[in-house]
């Protein structure tokens, strides 16, 4: 009888170990699922960050291109103003000033977008740090 008890005890121990391993496997699967979710989120955040950087770069290049055109227009307008007198000169100057103000407004708007992108980037970096923290916590 003692041997049977030992065998039953051993069986119960093995069953308990199986239950423990099943529980650990379930926890690891949940952890793995969360890690994949965090990885997916991190890639999405990175994609959004890169997209934001690309858009900001494009806007900056457009502003630079506009600025180049303005420099040319100012040089050109000086020559034109020397030739044209009276109201035509004033109209040309007003148009050039209006153009300058519009470009200044575009530069201002672009700076706002750059600042917003930097703020978003800061928030994204905080979110990425939080994801790394969660990942470390899950791996312990």
End-to-end CA distance of the chain: 44
Ramachandran region, residue 84 (left: φ > 0; alpha: ψ -120 to 50; beta: rest): beta
Q: Residue 95: CA atoms inside 13 Å, Cβ hemisphere, count?
A: 11
Residues of the chain with pLDDT under 50: 80-81, 84-85, 89
119, 24, 36: which is closest to 44 by C-alpha?
A: 36
pLDDT tens for 12-32 read: 667 765 656 557 777 777 667
Q: Where are the domains of the chain?
A: 2-139
Tell me what pLDDT residue 84 has: 46
């Amino acid at each position: 009888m003692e041997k049977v008890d030992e065998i039953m005890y051993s069986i119960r121990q093995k069953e308990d170990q199986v239950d423990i391993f099943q529980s650990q496997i379930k926890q690891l699967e949940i952890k793995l699922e969360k890690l994949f979710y965090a990885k997916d989120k991190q890639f999405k955040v990175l994609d959004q960050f890169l997209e934001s950087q690309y858009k900001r770069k494009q806007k900056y290049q457009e502003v630079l291109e506009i600025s180049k055109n303005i420099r040319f227009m100012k040089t050109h307008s000086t020559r034109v103003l020397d030739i044209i007198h009276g109201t035509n000169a004033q109209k040309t100057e007003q148009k050039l000033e209006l153009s300058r103000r519009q470009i200044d407004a575009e530069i201002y708007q672009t700076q706002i977008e750059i600042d917003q992108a930097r703020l978003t980037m800061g928030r994204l970096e905080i979110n990425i740090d939080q994801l790394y923290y969660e990942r470390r916590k899950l791996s312990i």
